[in-house]
């Protein structure tokens, strides 16, 4: 294995991890949305080269087109190195994924799997010494036009878990998402059936407030969201992933219950910090607070410079194109559009609130919240045998 990588930055814009050494070239072909916020429907062809060695390109079907990509791998505590990690499963149905190799003692192996329709980074985080693993923020596919639930994204995670022989002990949610449906319950069911070991579904202890609020709003029967999570984490509660120590960090702002999960020198921060060229997550949902998000963001940026912040979403802008799962604390302190060093709370709150006022409602808002307060369990069938979700009508000024 080589231990050096040439650095060359091509067509990615200026905001990228400064601690990386990776050569990336990208070109685009119109295909489908990677970036809902930009309102574009595009996909991409990504070529990632590690020099002088490299993993072979993998080609995968992507709506009858091809994505070419290479796996990139890195030591989770030091800069990227050239140990090429073959992605064990082909990319299918528009899901790009990157595998990593863990290395130093006390640090995890991290698999970041990007779900393109909702711009969500899903993670499988494993202890290499025991193969114990957790899955963070898995996506359940939902087609709002066909009203169809499918499990392609989750099945890709299951395949990865199987190929790596991981034992999944926990499925972790950072919060009740408003833009995608969680696959937590589906995965729990499938993993239990396949391995005879039921992983717990965990979330922050304040989820009850969120469940109550949206349960009432969407007329979800209380018994369908009561006791659906197996573990409610206290602030700063520690737990184990095999021999690794993980910590639940309360990071309110996007939602009041929001957690990040710190594992070694990595924080899976959900919807708090996004890539530096996007900045931060919106704060205009019920219980959200730009003031709280500023404090949560600065809490993350008070961690040591080398700590990696793994984001819950990415919506790559035109000048970057490639979704990126992480940046270091130092990168964010220097480059984050909303929270870099020197930006005051008042300035942040003003920018955040101005931006939030212009954002459209998430495309899957109503469906997501009704499924996610149930921890991904489906609504109980009606007498007619249908599983129903409610969608509020927007009547505006119409009355009769
Ligand atoms: Fe969210």
**How confident is the model over 298-355, as pLDDT tens digits?**
999 999 999 999 999 999 999 988 999 999 999 999 999 999 999 999 999 999 999 9
Is residue 164 in a domain? yes
Distance CA(94)–CA(61), nearest Å, equals 8
Q: pLDDT value at position 123? A: 98
CA of 271 to the centre of ligand 1 (A): 5
β pairing state of 231-233 and 238-241:
unpaired
CA of 270 to the centre of ligand 1 (A): 7
Mean confidence (pLDDT) of the chain:
80
* CATH number of the domain encompassing residue 153: 3.60.15.10
Angle at alpha carbon of residue 55, lines to 154 and 72, rounded to 5°: 55
Is residue 27 in a domain? no
In the predicted structure, residue 8 carries a pLDDT above the cut 90? no
Question: Structurally, how many domains does the chain consist of?
Answer: 1
pLDDT tens readout for residues 252-284? 999 999 999 999 999 999 999 999 999 999 999
Identify which has the larger pLDDT, 202 or 106: 202
CA of 77 to the centre of ligand 1 (A): 27
CA of 167 to the centre of ligand 1 (A): 27
Q: pLDDT value at position 69? A: 30
Which residues touch 335 (CB under 8 Å, ≥6 apart)? 15, 276, 277, 327
Is residue 34 in a domain? no
Is residue 59 in a domain? no
CA of 72 to the centre of ligand 1 (A): 26
Distance CA(281)–CA(252), nearest Å, equals 11
Is residue 20 in a domain? no
Distances in Å between the Cα of 249 and the Cα atoms of 102, 203, 238, 366 are 22, 11, 9, 27
Q: pLDDT value at position 103? A: 67
CA of 314 to the centre of ligand 1 (A): 12
- Terminal Cα distance for the chain, rounded: 73
Distance CA(130)–CA(132), nearest Å, equals 5
pLDDT tens readout for residues 84-127? 333 333 333 445 566 667 667 889 999 999 999 999 999 999 99
Task: Lowest mean pLDDT of 59-63, 246-250, 262-266, name the range.
Answer: 59-63
Is residue 193 in a domain? yes
CA of 372 to the centre of ligand 1 (A): 11
CA of 179 to the centre of ligand 1 (A): 6
pLDDT tens readout for residues 356-375? 999 999 999 999 999 999 99
SS3 annotation, the chain:
CCCCCCCEECCCCCCCCCCCCCEEEEEEECCCCCEHHHCECCEEEEEEECCCCCCCCEEEEECCEEEEECCCCCCCCCCCCCCCCCCCCCCCCCEEEECCCCCCCCCCEEEEEEECCCCEEEEEEECCCCCEEEEECCEEEEECCCCEEECHHHHHHHHHHHHHCCEEEEEECCCCCCCCEECHHHHHHHHHHHHCCCCEEEEECCHHHHHHHHHHHCCCCHHHCCCCCCEEECCCCEEEECCEEEEEEECCCCCCCCEEEEECCEEEEECCECCCCCCECCCCCCCCCHHHHHHHHHHHHCCCCCCEEEECECCCCCCCCCCCCEEEHHHHHHHCCCCCCCCCHHHHHHHHHHHHHHCCCCCCHHHHHHHHCCCCCCCCCCCCCCCCCCCCCCCCCCCC
- Quickly count: other Cβ atoms within 10 Å of residue 176's Cβ: 25
**What are 2's two structure tokens?**
């080589």
Domain residue limits at 267:
87-373
Q: pLDDT value at position 178? A: 97
Maximum Cα–Cα distance across the chain = 73
In the predicted structure, residue 163 carries a pLDDT above the cut 60? yes
Task: Lowest mean pLDDT of 46-60, 217-231, 378-392, name the range.
Answer: 46-60
Query: What is the separation of C-alpha 163 from the centre of its chain, rounded to a whole number of angstroms?
Result: 21
Query: What is the separation of C-alpha 171 from the centre of its chain, rounded to a whole number of angstroms?
Result: 13
Can you say whether residue 247 is alpha, beta or left, with left for phi > 0 and alpha for psi between -120 and 50 degrees? beta
Helix axes 184-195, 152-164, angle to 10 degrees: 40
Is residue 74 in a domain? no
CA of 355 to the centre of ligand 1 (A): 16
CA of 269 to the centre of ligand 1 (A): 11
CA of 381 to the centre of ligand 1 (A): 27
CA of 258 to the centre of ligand 1 (A): 9
**In the chain, pLDDT over 70 holds for what percent of residues?**
74
Residues with CB under 5 Å of ion ligand 1 are: 177, 271
Is residue 286 in a domain? yes
The answer to whether 203 and 232 have CB atoms below 8 angstroms apart is: yes
CA of 307 to the centre of ligand 1 (A): 22
Task: Lowest mean pLDDT of 124-128, 165-169, 280-284, 395-399, name the range.
Answer: 395-399
Can you say whether residue 39 is alpha, beta or left, with left for phi > 0 and alpha for psi between -120 and 50 degrees? left
């Amino acid at each position: 294995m080589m231990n050096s990588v040439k650095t060359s930055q091509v067509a990615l814009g200026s905001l990228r991890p400064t601690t990386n050494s990776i050569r990336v070239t990208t070109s685009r072909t119109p295909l489908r949305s990677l970036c809902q916020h930009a309102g574009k429907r595009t996909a991409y062809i990504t070529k990632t080269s590690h020099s002088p060695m490299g993993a072979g390109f993998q080609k995968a079907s992507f709506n009858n087109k091809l994505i070419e990509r290479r796996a990139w791998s890195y030591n989770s505590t030091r800069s990227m190195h050239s140990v090429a990690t073959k992605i064990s499963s082909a990319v299918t149905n528009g899901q790009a994924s990157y595998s990593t190799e863990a290395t130093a003692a006390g640090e995890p192996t991290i698999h970041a799997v990007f779900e393109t329709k909702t711009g969500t980074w899903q993670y499988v985080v494993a202890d290499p010494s025991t193969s114990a693993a957790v899955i963070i923020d898995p996506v359940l596919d939902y087609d709002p036009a066909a009203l169809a639930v499918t499990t392609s994204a989750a099945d890709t995670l299951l395949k990865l878990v199987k190929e790596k022989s991981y034992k999944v002990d926990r499925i972790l949610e950072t919060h009740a998402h408003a833009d995608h449906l969680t696959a937590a319950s589906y995965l729990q069911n499938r993993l239990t059936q396949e391995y005879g070991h039921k992983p717990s579904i965990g979330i922050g202890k304040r989820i009850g407030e969120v469940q109550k609020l949206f349960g009432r709003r969407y007329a979800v029967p209380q018994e369908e969201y009561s006791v659906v999570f197996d573990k409610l984490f206290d602030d700063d509660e520690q737990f184990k992933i095999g021999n690794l120590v993980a910590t639940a960090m309360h990071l309110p702002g996007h939602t009041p219950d929001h957690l990040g999960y710190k594992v070694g020198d990595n924080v899976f921060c959900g919807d708090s910090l996004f890539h530096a060229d996007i900045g931060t997550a919106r704060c205009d949902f019920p219980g959200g607070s730009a003031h709280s998000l500023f404090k949560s963001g600065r809490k993350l940026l008070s961690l040591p410079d080398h700590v990696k912040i793994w984001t819950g979403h990415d919506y790559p802008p035109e000048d970057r194109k490639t979704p990126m799962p992480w940046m270091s604390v130092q990168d964010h302190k220097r480059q984050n559009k909303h929270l870099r060093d020197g930006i005051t709370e008042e300035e942040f709150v003003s920018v955040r609130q101005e931006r939030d006022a212009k954002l459209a409602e998430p495309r899957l808002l109503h469906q997501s919240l009704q499924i996610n307060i149930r921890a991904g369990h489906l609504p109980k069938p009606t007498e007619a045998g249908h599983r129903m979700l409610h969608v509020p009508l927007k009547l505006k000024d119409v009355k009769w």
